[in-house]
């Protein structure tokens, strides 16, 4: 099987690349996929972004499969280098015109914490996207490989589905089913916030620490 | 039961694609209270926009249409076997028509049945009433939030929680702290207290069917619910875990009698998309 090449990154007139001068006046950073290591290093925890290009989905079963079965990159019909892996099990409709994403918000990322570090280093992802953030091992792997975590809006599935312009392809649909297959999706201005960066900063860790201090005070009452 | 079946399909559609007004109102208040430009405010803005879009285009609010949980009150003489069959048939149809995401996975074969039916799926609780009407309540319980639920046995040394209401308070605060932003806050929290594990788990989840505006019959529990809501919101986890003022929209506690030797506290958590609805027949 030949690895399918995603459409080349297209910089539309409105979209400004990370690092562009115009970013200073913009609220959100525009991201065009695939990402390079340099792009990733230009992102910091707290940045709001709008993602453009092709991303792939993968959740519990796909992570377990990639972790234990270790399929060679060339066996995977997509080129995953620089791509974002989206923790999502979408609802997909099918008609004569092909697949259509009906509803596609993020799923809880921490469930794949045991696998993600290895998947980042083996498959070349530059971004992981989901909800709720991830743990130390993933944060460490992101620092080592140059990868960031995008926190998508949990539950906003209709809103986010409208930012998915096209289903590019799907892998392992028969074996894993609709929710667990790997869907390659072309997104346009897909909103997210960088909450874990390649410098080892995690907003999730910071909020957990603050809330722990608050909890201690409330319990002592 | 054909018409009833179609009624249940419509109930599925309503619950999957729209939120009860009390939940939407609470989310609007949360939005109004957050600081301009904060990630919490932005999240709530997207959430509210998503609710509007889902309702207007009749699409599921969240792609995880969850585990369907039915609470059915039947008048005397109505066959529960027939009703169960009708609900299962309606589930198959709703999965295709709404559509719902197929979520029922066989433990032995690991295969998804594709139609949201299987062993114990959907969950159906029956209760006979002297009333002459049939009442069917449906909750679509997403599993990101189901996974952050907890059960505690009091006393709990780590939390310095004794066998009293203050012990219950500490358990609930701890459960929300542990959940962080993983189950899509602002949450609705259901608490169940009683003698046996299975019973409190069911009781806690049932609390999520109460309207946010509903007031507990017990003044003591009502005060505890209010205090807990305030304290949970002081944890600072915020909408979607971005930090902020609203970590929960409501706390609802139900109690059963306990055994002298047991004191179970179960906490069931709903994501902001607390999807529930009722069909009266």
φ, ψ dihedrals at A131, nearest 5°: -135, 155
Neighbours of A201 (CB within 10 A): 16
* Residue A90 domain flag: yes
* Residue A18 domain flag: no
Q: Write down the ipTM of this complex.
A: 0.92
* Residue B260 domain flag: yes
Does A173 lie at the interface with B, CB-CB under 8 angstroms?
no
Enumerate the β-bridge partners of residue B156. Answer: B161
Chain A hits for B174, CB-CB cut-off 8 Å, are 215, 219
Nearest Cα to Cα of residue B99 among A179, A146, A156: A179
At B45, list the tokens. Answer: 């803005």
Say how far residue B13 (Cα) sits from the centre of its chain: 17
Verify that B11 and B134 share a domain, yes or no.
yes
Does B46 lie at the interface with A, CB-CB under 8 angstroms?
yes
Does A157 lie at the interface with B, CB-CB under 8 angstroms?
yes
Chain A hits for B60, CB-CB cut-off 8 Å, are 91, 102-103, 157-158
A179/B112 CB distance under 8 A: yes
**d(Cα B149, Cα B178) in Å, to the nearest integer?**
9
Chain A stretch 67-86, residues whose beta carbon is closer than 8 A to a beta carbon of chain B: none
Verify that B7 and B57 share a domain, yes or no.
yes
Residues with Cβ within 8 Å of residue A2, at least 6 apart in sequence: none
The answer to whether the peptide bond before residue B39 is cis (omega within 30 degrees of 0) is no
- From the list A156, A208, A218, which residue is nearest B231 (CB)? A218
Does B57 lie at the interface with A, CB-CB under 8 angstroms?
yes
Find the domain containing A207 and state its range: 27-220
- The pLDDT, as a whole number, for residue A7 is 57
- Cα angle B262, B265, B135 (rounded to 5 degrees) comes to 115
* Residue A1 domain flag: no
The answer to whether the peptide bond before residue B26 is cis (omega within 30 degrees of 0) is no
First and final C-alpha spacing in chain A: 63
How long a stretch of residues is chain A? Answer: 221
Verify that B115 and B157 share a domain, yes or no.
no
- The pLDDT, as a whole number, for residue A27 is 79
**Total count of domains within chain B:** 2
Cα nearest neighbour of B247 on chain A: A211
**Shortest distance, CA A172 to any CA of chain B (angstroms):** 13
SS3 of residue A148 by DSSP: strand
SS3 of residue B275 by DSSP: strand
**d(Cα A105, Cα A131) in Å, to the nearest integer?**
9
**d(Cα A12, Cα B249) in Å, to the nearest integer?**
41
Domain boundary pick from B141, B160, B194: B141
**d(Cα B87, Cα B78) in Å, to the nearest integer?**
14
Verify that B118 and B230 share a domain, yes or no.
no
Verify that B1 and B134 share a domain, yes or no.
yes
Verify that B137 and B196 share a domain, yes or no.
no
Going by DSSP bridges, is the β-strand pair B123-129/B67-75 parallel, antiparallel, or unpaired? parallel
**d(Cα A65, Cα A71) in Å, to the nearest integer?**
8
At A218, list the tokens. Answer: 């409330």
Instruction: Return contacts of A214-221, CB within 8 angstroms, 24+ apart.
Output: A214/B234, A214/B235, A214/B236, A215/B173, A215/B174, A215/B177, A215/B235, A218/B173, A218/B231, A218/B234, A218/B235, A219/B159, A219/B160, A219/B170, A219/B173, A219/B174
A133/B103 CB distance under 8 A: no
- The pLDDT, as a whole number, for residue A141 is 98
Chain A hits for B46, CB-CB cut-off 8 Å, are 153, 156, 159, 191
**Shortest distance, CA B91 to any CA of chain A (angstroms):** 16
Say how far residue B262 (Cα) sits from the centre of its chain: 25
Chain B stretch 209-268, residues whose beta carbon is closer than 8 A to a beta carbon of chain A: 231, 234-238, 240-243
- From the list B62, B102, B183, which residue is nearest A178 (CB)? B102
CATH assignment of the domain containing A36:
3.20.130.10
**d(Cα B170, Cα B187) in Å, to the nearest integer?**
17
At B33, list the tokens. Answer: 């209270």
User: What tens digit of pLDDT does each residue of B30-69 get?
Assistant: 999 999 999 999 999 999 999 999 999 999 999 999 999 9
Verify that B156 and B187 share a domain, yes or no.
yes
Verify that B112 and B155 share a domain, yes or no.
no
B234/A214 CB distance under 8 A: yes
A63 in catalytic set: yes
**d(Cα B137, Cα A34) in Å, to the nearest integer?**
46
Find the domain containing B69 and state its range: 1-63+65-141
Verify that B168 and B264 share a domain, yes or no.
yes
A91/B243 CB distance under 8 A: no
Cα nearest neighbour of A202 on chain B: B242
The conformation of residue B21, written as its DSSP 8-state character, comes to: H
CA distances from A160 to A14, A165, A212 (A): 20, 10, 32
φ, ψ dihedrals at A108, nearest 5°: -65, 120
- The pLDDT, as a whole number, for residue A92 is 95
SS3 of residue A154 by DSSP: coil
**d(Cα B34, Cα B46) in Å, to the nearest integer?**
14
CB–CB of A62/A130 below 8 Å?
no
| pLDDT per residue of chain A (221 residues) written in tens, 0 to 9 | 445 656 555 544 444 444 444 434 447 999 999 999 999 999 999 999 999 999 999 999 999 999 999 999 999 999 999 999 999 999 999 989 899 999 999 999 999 999 999 999 999 999 999 999 999 999 999 999 999 999 999 999 999 999 999 999 999 999 999 999 999 999 999 999 999 999 999 999 999 999 999 999 999 98
**Shortest distance, CA A122 to any CA of chain B (angstroms):** 26
At A140, list the tokens. Answer: 């460490």
* A to B CB pairs, distance under 8 Å: 155
Verify that B124 and B12 share a domain, yes or no.
yes
A133/B241 CB distance under 8 A: yes
**d(Cα A10, Cα A31) in Å, to the nearest integer?**
11
CB–CB of A205/A151 below 8 Å?
no
| DSSP secondary structure string for all residues of A85-108 | EE----EEEEETTEEEEEE----B
Does A196 lie at the interface with B, CB-CB under 8 angstroms?
no
CA distances from A8 to A4, A12, A126 (A): 12, 12, 16
**Total count of domains within chain A:** 1
Verify that B87 and B156 share a domain, yes or no.
no
Does A218 lie at the interface with B, CB-CB under 8 angstroms?
yes
CB–CB of A19/A43 below 8 Å?
no
Cα nearest neighbour of A45 on chain B: B242
How long a stretch of residues is chain B? Answer: 281
Verify that B35 and B59 share a domain, yes or no.
yes
Residues with Cβ within 8 Å of residue A69, at least 6 apart in sequence: none
Query: Which residues in chain B show pLDDT less than 50?
Result: none
- From the list B46, B65, B177, which residue is nearest A211 (CB)? B177
- The pLDDT, as a whole number, for residue A102 is 93
């Amino acid at each position: 099987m030949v690895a399918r090449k995603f459409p080349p990154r297209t910089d539309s007139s409105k979209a400004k690349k990370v690092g562009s001068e115009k970013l200073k006046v913009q609220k959100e950073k525009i991201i065009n996929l695939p990402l390079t290591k340099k792009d990733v290093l230009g992102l910091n925890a707290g940045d709001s972004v709008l993602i453009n290009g092709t991303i792939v989905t993968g959740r519990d079963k796909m992570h377990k499969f990639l972790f234990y079965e270790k399929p060679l990159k060339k066996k995977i019909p997509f080129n995953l280098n620089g791509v974002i892996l989206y923790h999502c099990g979408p609802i997909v409709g099918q008609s004569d015109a092909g697949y259509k994403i009906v509803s596609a918000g993020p799923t809880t990322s921490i469930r794949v914490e045991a696998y993600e570090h290895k998947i980042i280093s083996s498959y070349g992802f530059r971004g992981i996207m989901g909800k709720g953030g991830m743990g130390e091992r993933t944060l460490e792997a992101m620092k080592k490989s140059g990868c960031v975590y995008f926190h998508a809006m949990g539950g906003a599935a209709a809103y986010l589905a409208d930012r998915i312009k096209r289903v590019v392809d799907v892998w392992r649909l028969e074996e894993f089913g609709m929710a667990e297959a790997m869907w390659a999706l072309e997104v346009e201005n897909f909103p997210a916030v960088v909450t874990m960066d390649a410098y080892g900063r995690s907003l999730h860790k910071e909020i957990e620490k603050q809330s722990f201090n608050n909890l201690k005070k409330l319990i002592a009452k | 039961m054909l018409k009833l079946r179609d009624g249940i399909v419509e109930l599925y559609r309503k619950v999957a694609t729209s939120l009860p007004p009390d939940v939407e109102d609470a989310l609007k208040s949360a939005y109004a209270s957050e600081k301009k430009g904060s990630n919490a405010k932005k999240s709530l803005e997207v959430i509210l926009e998503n609710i509007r879009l889902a309702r207007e285009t009749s699409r599921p609010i969240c792609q995880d249409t969850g585990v369907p949980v039915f609470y059915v009150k039947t008048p005397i003489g109505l066959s529960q076997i027939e009703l169960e069959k009708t609900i299962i048939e309606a589930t198959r149809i709703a999965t295709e028509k709404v559509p719902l995401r197929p979520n029922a996975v066989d433990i032995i074969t690991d295969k998804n049945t594709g139609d949201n039916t299987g062993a114990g799926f959907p969950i159906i609780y029956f209760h006979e009433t002297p009333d002459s009407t049939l009442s069917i309540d449906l909750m679509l319980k997403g599993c990101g939030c189901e996974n952050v639920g907890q059960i505690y046995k009091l006393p709990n040394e780590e939390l310095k929680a004794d066998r009293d209401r203050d012990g219950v308070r500490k358990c609930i605060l701890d459960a929300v702290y542990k959940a962080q932003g993983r189950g899509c806050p602002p949450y609705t929290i259901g608490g169940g207290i009683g003698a046996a594990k299975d019973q409190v788990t069911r009781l806690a989840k049932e609390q999520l069917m109460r309207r946010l505006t509903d007031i507990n019959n017990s003044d003591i529990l009502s005060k505890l619910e209010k205090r807990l809501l305030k304290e949970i919101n002081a944890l600072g986890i915020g909408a979607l875990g971005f930090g902020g003022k609203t970590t929960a929209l409501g706390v609802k506690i139900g109690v059963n009698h306990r055994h002298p030797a047991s004191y179970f506290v179960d906490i069931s958590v709903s994501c902001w998309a607390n999807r529930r609805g009722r069909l009266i027949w």
